Chains A and B, each alone.
Chain A
Amino acid sequence: MLISVRRFVLPGLLATSLLTSLSASAAPYPMQLQNCGYTVSLKQPPASVVTIGQAGTEMLYALGLGDKVVGTSLWFNAVLPPFKAINDKVPRLADNDPSFESVIGKRPALVVSQFEWMVGKDGVVGTREQFHDLGIATYAMPSDCEGKNNLKGADGTRTSAYDVQALYKSITQLAQLFDVQPQGERLVKDLRERQAKAVAKVKAAQQPQLTAALWFSSADLAIDPYMAGKNGVAGYMLQTLGLRNIVDSSEEWPTVGWETIAKANPSILVIARMDRRRFPADDYQKKLDFLKTDPVTQHMDAVKNNRIVIVDADALQGSIRVVDGMEQISDAVLKLAQPAGR
């Protein structure tokens, strides 16, 4: 009996422990990971991280890594309600881009940036080399660098259309960097399911030939607005939901004249809500007022029939909120399918 335990159970236990150690070593340290043309090198899971951009911040919160975040910056909206408690404990280095020294002052092991131009070749905060020289690893969101040339066009130009796979990739890779793969898988699965539901909802509404346009903001109220290009994140959301974006530019956020938008007369207008106040049009209420009072836009079908969807600006970036935005738009399409007011 004893012998059989030794002969069969022990090797079994050994094998199991070997297996667990193997799966844990799926993220072996030192770890190297390719990211936006750079190599992310880590000797151990990062003990602290500074984020530039709300998207990365909330992604880390969603992965349960809130206690590792020692500084945040570049916010478009208020933090998602479930993360408010953890976010309140994290210092906000800047509402927009932080200075290089304020970032390194937090002594982070890793810097996660939402936009490449913050840490890229002409990094506004600093170049990735500058961080690497100080032994700080950097990670830029694939959403903003893969299939995108950030040296061309004002906000970069997509060389190929955005795909939500880039978002999943950033979640998976961040989970890998912090060695929390199961959380990453769970988050991706959840987002996938919710997106599929939103798409199915629009399909079920059976509205043929729906068109849309998405207004982010404008340098001045009546001036040519910043609209979502066809290949950006917002363009992806519209297209995946089966809506045709009336803007045909490959730029991320091209300026398009109101004349062109009004003439294309999209079925649905999506407008961004944000907390920053750089331009008057950052206030979504001012956008609504403009649309309803401008002598031309007030005649657009979407304005007349109140088919205006208000979406958080952060949902239009490569963030986990992309799905929130798609859900909001799909709800609006569903409402459109129902006879109005009856």
Chain B
Amino acid sequence: MSAAPVAAASALRKPLHWALLGLGAALALLLSVALGIAIGETALSPSLVLQVLANKLFGANYAIDPISQGIVWNYRLPRALVAASCGAGLAVAGVILQSMLRNALAEPYLLGISAGASTGAVLVSVVGIGAGAISMTVGAFFGALCAFALVALLAHAAGSGGLRNGGQIVLAGIAGSQLFNALTSLIITKSGSAEQARGIMFWLLGSLSGVRWPDTVLTACIAITGLLLCLLHTRALDAFTFGSESAAALGVPVRRVQLVLLLVAALMTAVMVSIVGAIGFVGLVIPHAARMLVGVRHRRLVPASAMMGAIFLIAADVLSRTLIRGQVLPIGVITALVGAPVFACILLRSQRRQR
């Protein structure tokens, strides 16, 4: 058989292929949310969960005790939705940073944004900056922005193109991370309370236990806005993969796009980290995994990363609640513990295929 008919057939099949893939991903996301609601510290039967959802979404009138109803509707559903938004947001931020900086290692956690957020949160909680008027969340937000600004400035000052030089900013990010982690440790050590250190550690490694509906609205809005902005710039992101000079040659308004996309990545990370704490690994692993699945074109990579990030973080949250009975693990521990081996597997398998 000649090659031409096969290529034609696969081209014909392609739209269907992508539609099926999208549908499958949407189903997987729905299933993850369902699992996120159904699994928790206390056992609630699936029928009860369904009844609560029917009551709340479709105005059904099942008699359910208000505590069970509250657990499903006010604790677990917002938690699953926030996990999805944060997973999507962090993954998309990873895609942006990896493309803009042309560095496979670029991700919010590594660039010091998460470390900055932690320092901000700790400053509010331990040192009492803001005197109760601002919350840990607000502190984390400003900490993240400060860290990103500092890392960007440092990379820029280091010369030879600043932001355009991916290697420089990753090095600056490592320095920034170390600096902010040291500051956080300093503050915690100075406060010297086991209880406080524990409270902060939980925060540093991420936790979704305090998440409620207002957080859901905020994180979902940020994630969707970030995703849309990113989707508007997929062509530019493709161009940036070959460097900003090539992007400029292709007619991309380099400065403007750089500013918009880096701001999007910084804001998304700052908001997500301020709500759920420092969750590493998502921004690094998910874009790579998504690339192996859908290729390097950002038109597919961006939505695929968002979807996979969402599913990954819901799954990580469910695992954090169930891995050790009677104890909730920080979600950052799970993303690293589960993410690293999974990433290694994907890496090895893709290597073998290439051979």
Q: A and B, one complex?
A: yes
A219 in contact with B198 (CB, 8 Å) = yes
User: In the docked arrangement, what's the CA distance between A219 and B200, Å?
Assistant: 7
Neighbouring B residues of A265 by C-beta, 8 Å? 67
Choose among A224, A262, A296 the residue that contacts B209 (Cβ–Cβ < 8 A): A224
Q: A224-B328, A257-B41, A299-B70 are in contact. Are A97 and B75 (CB under 8 A)?
A: no
Binds B, one of A53-61, A188-196, A275-283: A275-283
Q: Which residue of B lies closest to A220 (CB)?
A: B210
Query: Which bracket fits the contact residues of A?
Result: 35 or more
Q: Mark A229-273, 1 if CB is under 8 A from B, else 0.
A: 000000000000000000011000111011110110100000000
Give which listed residue, B68, B135, B327, contacts A263 with CB less than 8 A.
Answer: B68
Contacts known (A155-B194, A223-B207); A260 close to B67, Cβ less than 8 A: no
B66 CB contacts on chain A under 8 angstroms? 296, 299
Q: Which of B73, B209, B326 contacts A223 (CB 8 A)?
A: B209
Chain A-chain B contacts (Cβ-Cβ < 8 Å), number: 100
**A300–B65 Cα gap in the complex (Å)?**
10
Report if B234 contacts A (CB, 8 A): no
Shortest Cβ distance from residue B214 to the other chain A in the assembled complex, whole angstroms: 10
Task: Report whether B210 and A222 are in contact in the complex, using a CB–CB cutoff of 8 Å.
Answer: yes
Report chain B residues within 8 Å CB of A249. 326
Instruction: Report which of B75, B126, B203 forms a contact with A258, defined as CB distance below 8 A.
Output: B75
* Interface 0/1 of B315-339, CB less than 8 Å to A: 0000000000011100000000000
Cα–Cα, bound, A248→B41 (Å) = 13
Minimum C-beta distance from B286 to chain A (A): 26
A117 CB contacts on chain B under 8 angstroms: 194
Which of A124, A223, A260, A278 has a CB less than 8 Å from the CB of B41? A260
Q: A296: which B residues are within 8 A, CB to CB?
A: 66-67, 70-71, 74-75
Which residues does chain B contribute within 8 Å of A248, judged by CB atoms? 326
Of all chain A residues, the one with the shortest Cβ separation from B73 is A295
**Do residues A219 and B202 form an inter-chain contact, with CB atoms below 8 A?**
yes
Contacting pair B203 A259 (CB below 8 A): no
Given contacts A155-B198, A278-B125, 9 further A-B contacts (CB under 8 A): A97-B193, A220-B203, A248-B326, A255-B202, A259-B42, A262-B71, A278-B199, A295-B212, A296-B71
Query: What are 19 inter-chain pairs, A to B, with CB distance below 8 A?
Result: A96-B191, A124-B194, A154-B195, A219-B125, A220-B135, A220-B136, A223-B202, A253-B195, A255-B328, A257-B41, A258-B75, A260-B42, A262-B67, A265-B67, A278-B199, A279-B196, A295-B70, A296-B66, A300-B67
- Which positions in B face A, CB cutoff 8 Å? 40-42, 65-68, 70-71, 73-76, 125-126, 128, 132, 135-136, 191-196, 198-200, 202-203, 207, 209-212, 326-328
